[in-house]
């Protein structure tokens, strides 16, 4: 029994190492693309779905207004999703700057208000390229022009661009930034390997005609989340070679880590809830194997209290996991100019094992709170 247990543990470890090595290859395959910033001609619609964002939305709008992209080619549509604070009033105050407010007025409960908001905004849009971000994000002045330059130069139908946390004030928030960099790196690496699967809706662009070509959110609108990854996977079925990750620092969008453990777990449960709907079942199978690998680490750590053999097995697994993750994270954090965060991996790695197993268990079994609503 001990021999079989060891073989399974080492097989799962080997699989994890192979997967992360494949991710390292995918990130490296993404070269900084050449883009043309002069003579851009694409009409762009910036889309934001906002709910109860009165505290920070003015900062986001100010950043968007400050973009160096031609104003006559920029349309800004912000959808207020039944906010209970002053979000709608703040958006309205920017009407003179060309910011359009669309207010949802649904009389029947929905499970996916955000997808409804985005669909309504796209229906009213006049742009060719839809560029989505969130109401609590910050960006530099060349954010939009760099994305459009990449779009016009390389002609992708969908663009995933980098997102990072910033302005951390606690160790907990810095640990989240490191873990989030890992997640962004995974999505980028999948695209770099020609197998687009994950992305982040805070910095996401796609052609309007392609959105309608794949039926928009039809078929995935019963889930509250998934306006980014599940849409990407629908597009990847038709255009597998025309989805790009824009590996450019000018295109980075910044947002904030969660302040409390409860907020963090609710967010991760929301993200995990999409996984059973992934179209690429190979990705789902790999995720299950990685979950089993982390479970084996927990089991071996627990059995280590009864037998030194299992503790040694745990140490071998953990050391290999740590080393391959350092190799993956160093180039990613270097891209974000945050390499010092890799030093926190020795703290994050054991915590992440427990968290990964926990979220994998509850992510698809419970409803979760999001923007003041309980959804699934």
Residue 32's pLDDT is: 83
Q: Let me know if residue 325 belongs to a domain.
A: yes
Residue 284's pLDDT is: 84
Q: Let me know if residue 240 belongs to a domain.
A: yes
Residue 366's pLDDT is: 57
Q: Give the bridge partners for 181, in sequence order.
A: none
- Residue 257: is it exposed, middle or buried by C-beta count within 10 angstroms (0-12/13-18/19+)? buried
Nearest to 246 by CA among 197, 204, 207, 211: 204
Is residue 76 over pLDDT 80?
yes
The larger pLDDT score, comparing residue 231 to residue 39, is at 231
Q: Let me know if residue 297 belongs to a domain.
A: yes
> In this structure, how many other beta carbons lie within 10 angstroms of the beta carbon of residue 342?
19
Lowest-pLDDT range of 28-32, 106-110, 211-215, 316-320: 106-110
Specify whether 65 is located in the same domain as 80: yes
Residue 37's pLDDT is: 63
Is residue 278 over pLDDT 80?
no
- What tens digit of pLDDT does each residue of 46-64 get? 999 999 999 999 999 999 9
Rounded to the nearest integer, the mean pLDDT of the chain is: 91
Residue 365's pLDDT is: 60
Q: Let me know if residue 183 belongs to a domain.
A: no
| 341/182 Cα distance (integer angstroms) | 11
Is residue 288 over pLDDT 80?
yes
Helix, strand counts (H, E) of the chain: 12, 12
Q: Which residues constitute the domain of residue 297? A: 2-27+280-375
Residue 226's pLDDT is: 76
- What tens digit of pLDDT does each residue of 197-256 get? 999 999 999 999 999 999 999 988 877 777 899 999 999 999 999 999 999 999 999 999
Q: What DSSP state is assigned to residue 277?
A: G
Residue 35's pLDDT is: 75
Specify whether 108 is located in the same domain as 239: yes
Specify whether 60 is located in the same domain as 14: no
- β 99-103/74-80 pair status: parallel
Is-contact 264 210, C-beta < 8 A?
A: no
- Residue 100: is it exposed, middle or buried by C-beta count within 10 angstroms (0-12/13-18/19+)? middle
pLDDT-derived band at 375, boundaries 50, 70, 90: low
Q: Let me know if residue 197 belongs to a domain.
A: no
Is-contact 275 186, C-beta < 8 A?
A: no
| 173/336 Cα distance (integer angstroms) | 16
The larger pLDDT score, comparing residue 368 to residue 309, is at 309
Specify whether 77 is located in the same domain as 146: yes
How many angstroms from the chain centroid is the CA of residue 184?
A: 6
Q: Let me know if residue 62 belongs to a domain.
A: yes
Specify whether 46 is located in the same domain as 145: yes
Q: Let me know if residue 263 belongs to a domain.
A: no
Q: At what angle do helices 171-192 and 345-362 cross, to 10 degrees?
A: 70
Residue 246, domain CATH: 3.90.550.10
Specify whether 74 is located in the same domain as 222: yes
The larger pLDDT score, comparing residue 215 to residue 2, is at 215
Q: Let me know if residue 61 belongs to a domain.
A: yes
- DSSP annotation string for 8-77: HHHHHHHHHHHHHHHHHHHHHH--------SS----EEEEEEESS-TTTHHHHHHHHHT-SS-GGGEEEE
What are the DSSP E strand ranges found in the chain? 44-50, 74-80, 99-103, 129-132, 138-139, 158-160, 163-165, 204-207, 243-245, 253-255, 368-370, 373-375
Specify whether 11 is located in the same domain as 63: no
- What tens digit of pLDDT does each residue of 339-367 get? 999 999 999 999 999 999 988 887 666 56
Specify whether 49 is located in the same domain as 147: yes
In the predicted model, what is the mean pLDDT of residues 143-168? 97
- β 158-160/74-80 pair status: unpaired
Q: What is the pTM of this model?
A: 0.92
Specify whether 44 is located in the same domain as 75: yes
Specify whether 142 is located in the same domain as 76: yes
Residue 111's pLDDT is: 67
Specify whether 209 is located in the same domain as 357: no
Domain count, the chain: 2
Is-contact 141 23, C-beta < 8 A?
A: no
Specify whether 297 is located in the same domain as 154: no
Nearest to 118 by CA among 29, 27, 230: 230
Is residue 376 over pLDDT 60?
no
């Amino acid at each position: 029994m001990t021999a079989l247990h060891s073989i399974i543990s080492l097989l799962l470890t080997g699989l994890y190492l192979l997967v992360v090595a494949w991710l390292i290859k995918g990130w490296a395959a993404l070269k900084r693309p050449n883009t043309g910033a002069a003579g851009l001609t694409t009409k762009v619609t910036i889309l934001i779905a906002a709910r109860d964002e009165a505290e920070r939305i003015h900062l986001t709008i100010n950043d968007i207004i400050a973009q160096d992209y031609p104003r006559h080619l920029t349309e800004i549509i912000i959808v207020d999703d039944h906010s209970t604070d002053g979000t709608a009033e703040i958006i309205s105050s920017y009407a003179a700057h060309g910011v359009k407010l669309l207010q949802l007025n649904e009389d029947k409960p929905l499970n996916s208000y955000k997808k409804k908001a985005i669909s309504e905004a796209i229906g009213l849009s006049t742009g060719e390229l839809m560029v989505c971000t969130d109401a609590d994000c910050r960006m530099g002045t060349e954010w939009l022009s760099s994305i459009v330059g990449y779009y016009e130069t390389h002609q992708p139908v969908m663009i995933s661009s980098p997102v990072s946390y910033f302005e951390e004030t606690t160790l907990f928030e810095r640990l989240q930034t490191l873990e989030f960099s890992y997640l962004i790196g995974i999505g980028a690496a999948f695209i770099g390997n020609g197998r687009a699967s994950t992305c982040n809706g805070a910095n996401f662009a796609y052609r309007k005609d392609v959105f309608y070509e794949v039926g928009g959110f039809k078929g995935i609108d019963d889930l509250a989340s998934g306006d980014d990854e599940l849409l990407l996977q629908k597009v990847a079925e038709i255009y597998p070679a025309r989805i790009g990750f824009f590996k450019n620092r000018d295109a980075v969008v910044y947002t904030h880590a969660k302040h409390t453990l409860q907020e963090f777990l609710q967010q991760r449960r929301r993200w995990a809830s999409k996984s059973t709907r992934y179209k690429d079942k190979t990705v789902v199978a790999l995720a299950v194997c990685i979950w089993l690998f982390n479970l084996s680490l927990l089991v071996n750590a627990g059995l280590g209290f009864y037998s030194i053999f299992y503790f040694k097995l745990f140490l071998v697994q953990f050391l290999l996991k740590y080393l391959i993750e350092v190799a993956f994270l160093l180039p990613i954090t270097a891209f974000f100019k945050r390499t010092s965060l890799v030093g926190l991996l020795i703290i994050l790695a054991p915590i992440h094992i427990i968290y990964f197993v926990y979220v994998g268990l509850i992510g698809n079994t419970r409803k979760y709170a999001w923007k003041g609503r309980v959804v699934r």
